[in-house]
Structure formats: C-alpha cells, structure tokens
Amino acid sequence: MQSTYQPELWQQAYIVLGGATAALAGLIMVAASVRADQIMGTPHWRLRAQNSTLAMISITAASVLVLLPQDRFALGAELIVLNLACAGLFPGRLALHQLLNRTGVGLHAPALAIILYFLAAAGGASLIVGWGGGMFLITTAYVMFMFLATHNAYVLMLPRREAPKT
C-alpha cells in the first residue's frame, strides 16, 4: 500500500488523533488533581501522571508534525527524534526510579511505553526508507498510547489503600 508512505493521506486521522490526545492530557490533569494529595505524596504515582500527560502532549505535537506540509524524509526524521527523546525522558525516568528505589511496582507500564515510542520511531525510519509499515506503525503506537492514557486516568482516580513503597 503506497498510502502507508504518504503522510498527506493521513491528515484527517491525525486531526482526530491530535484533538483526542489533547483532550486526554486534560483528563489526566483533572484525574491527578482530584487525588493530588495522594499522587503528589508518592513519586511512583506522580511520575505516572506526569508521564501520561506528557505522552499525550508529545502525540499532539507529533500530530502537528504530520499535518505540516513537508516531505516524508523530513517527517520521518522529526518523528524519530521526537519519539526517541520521549522514550528516554518520560517512561525512562519512571523505570529508573522504580529500579533504583526498588518500589515493588512492576516495570510493565514504562516498558510498554518505551516499546511504543520505539515503534513510532521505527515508523519514522520506515517513512524515510519507504518500506516496513510507515504510518501504520506510527498510528498503531499512538492509538495504543491513547488506551494506556485512558487506563492511567482511571487508575489515578481510584482511591489508594496503600501507596507503593519508595
């Protein structure tokens, strides 16, 4: 499918994706503010709320990049840089905190986030070379992030019986 490597054909999808992720970022902020006393008092939950919000903002930014008039090589390079930077900055910090402090909280959420950022970066590389999945890889990663963010917003709203040890 040639549409896989033609970002201009994906603009309608990215208009929806950008709006949805911006709305989810706001939802996560509201969810975090409802339980601010518990979330801010526990580094794990604070980082999780922050990472989810920043992930949605990064996907909103990526949506803007897709919507800009530019060739696929430039877009691919921008998406590689954006997604690799986000992989190291956002879930990487949470994973490092959990490893260093032996919090007893699993690494599945930050590991999945890192994998999704790498998948989106691979989609950027695929755009450059013209094979391997292109926009399908990028869109799949971002839609999965939306499900994770919705789950995180729900989890942040739940009352805490016992906070993870830090």
Residue 97 is predicted with a pLDDT of: 67
- Pair of tokens at residue 164: 């993870």
Write down the pTM of the prediction.
0.84
Number of independent structural domains in the chain: 1
Domain for residue 164, yes or no? no
Residue 110 is predicted with a pLDDT of: 77
Domain for residue 49, yes or no? yes
pLDDT by residue, tens only, the chain of 166 residues: 578 899 999 999 999 999 999 999 998 888 888 888 888 887 778 888 888 899 999 999 999 999 999 999 999 999 999 999 999 887 766 666 666 776 555 667 778 888 999 999 999 999 999 998 999 999 999 999 999 888 888 887 876 655 455 5
Is-contact 49 31, C-beta < 8 A?
A: yes
Range of the domain at 119: 2-157
Residue among 83, 100, 72 at smallest CA distance from 166: 100
User: Which residue in the block uniquely carries the two structure tokens 């877009």?
Assistant: 75
